[in-house]
Amino acid sequence: MKKTTILIADDHSIVRMGLSALIGYQPDFKVVGEAEDGEEAVAKATELKPDIVIMDLVMPKLDGAEATRAIRDKCPDIKVLILTTFGTSADVARAVSAGASGALVKDISNDDFLNALHAVVRGEKVFSQEIEQTVKEEAEVPTLTQRQLEILHSVTRGLSNAEIARQFGISMDGVKRHIMAICRKLGASNRSEAVAIALRRQLLKS
């Protein structure tokens, strides 16, 4: 029986050891390599071409989302399964957008983890419940125009509508229309809530 080959990428050696030991007991899986940062994960995935990369989300040099994108760009047949401590991180949605086959929280049970691995082999998408909700919410966020993002950024700086109007050379009514459109797109009832949603979903860059 051909074994599914796996590369484990995590910056904590104890996590790599634990996963390697668990997977090593399975008759249909084989660990072929380990990586302790994102750049090494990309290099080893390119070299070893495993069937699956188990990818930590937060790693040095290159985070899990960017490493996933790089691996999928170079070797689109490799599947990536994200493991993370933070089920509500917006970076999870970035990793899924980059081509990850799913994402699991690290406190998942051994049985559920192995079931998820088998599901990935079958070509299915797998998510822990809290992560699935995060991915759904991120996917539902509409795109704001560049001007709307600029105005929202000015709102976060505490500028009034009159100050924003002077900043962009538009009328007060124009500012109000932009803010109303932003609130409608984000499902916010007021400008403060719109800012909170935008910050939580990382729509605004500092």
Half-sphere exposure (Cβ direction) of 189: Cα atoms closer than 13 Å = 0
Dist. CA 117–CA 101, nearest whole Å: 10
Confidence (pTM): 0.65
Q: What is the pLDDT of residue 12?
A: 92
Amino acid 196: pLDDT: 82
Q: How many other C-beta atoms can be found within 10 angstroms of the C-beta atom of residue 78?
A: 21
Closest by CA to 20, choosing from 2, 11, 33, is 33
pLDDT at 13: 92
Q: What is the pLDDT of residue 48?
A: 94
pLDDT (0 to 100) of residue 41: 95
List of the chain residues with pLDDT < 70: 86-90, 130, 132-142, 205-206
